Amino acid sequence: MIDWANLTANALWIVGCAIALGTLSYASWEASVMKDKFINRLKLPSYQIALNLAGFLFSAGLAWTSDTTLETVLWSILTVAFFVQMVAAYWRRRNSGRVETP
């Protein structure tokens, strides 16, 4: 039988990795098209939100699949840190008053 909880937990960290890879790839492509530096693209709040979402999903999935209490606590702390950074990037983007140029 399928262990649905384990499948869901592993899907979380895999989706987090996929989001991170997609975000980095798109930022690299956009930087080359716009003749900009890759790091400047990653500093934009929209990329920060996506990368923090990826980190949040990755660490949440690993916290869920951890075997020991120490691992679970450490991954959970990292999950909360990514969530806080994601919310902060969202508020910076919302309150900046300017539109990001793609």
pTM score, two decimals?
Answer: 0.86
**Quick check: 102 pLDDT over 80?**
no
Q: Find the domain containing 12 and state its range.
A: 4-95
Region 19-34: what's the mean pLDDT? 97
Region 29-46: what's the mean pLDDT? 94
Domain annotation covers residue 102: no
CA distance 98 to 10: 38
Domain annotation covers residue 101: no
Domain annotation covers residue 81: yes
Give the model's confidence band at 94: pLDDT under 50 very low, under 70 low, under 90 confident, else very high.
Answer: confident
> Residue 48: which of 90, 17, 8, 11 has the closest Cα?
90
Domain annotation covers residue 44: yes
Domain annotation covers residue 11: yes
Portion of the chain with pLDDT greater than 90, in percent? 82
Q: Which residue has the higher pLDDT, 39 or 97?
A: 39
Region 46-53: what's the mean pLDDT? 95
Domain annotation covers residue 80: yes
**Quick check: 29 pLDDT over 60?**
yes
Domain annotation covers residue 48: yes
Give the model's confidence band at 95: pLDDT under 50 very low, under 70 low, under 90 confident, else very high.
Answer: confident
**Interaxial angle between packed helices 69-95 and 45-65, expressed in degrees from 0 to 180 and rounded to the nearest 10:** 160
CA distance 74 to 57: 14
Q: How many domains does the chain have?
A: 1
Domain annotation covers residue 100: no
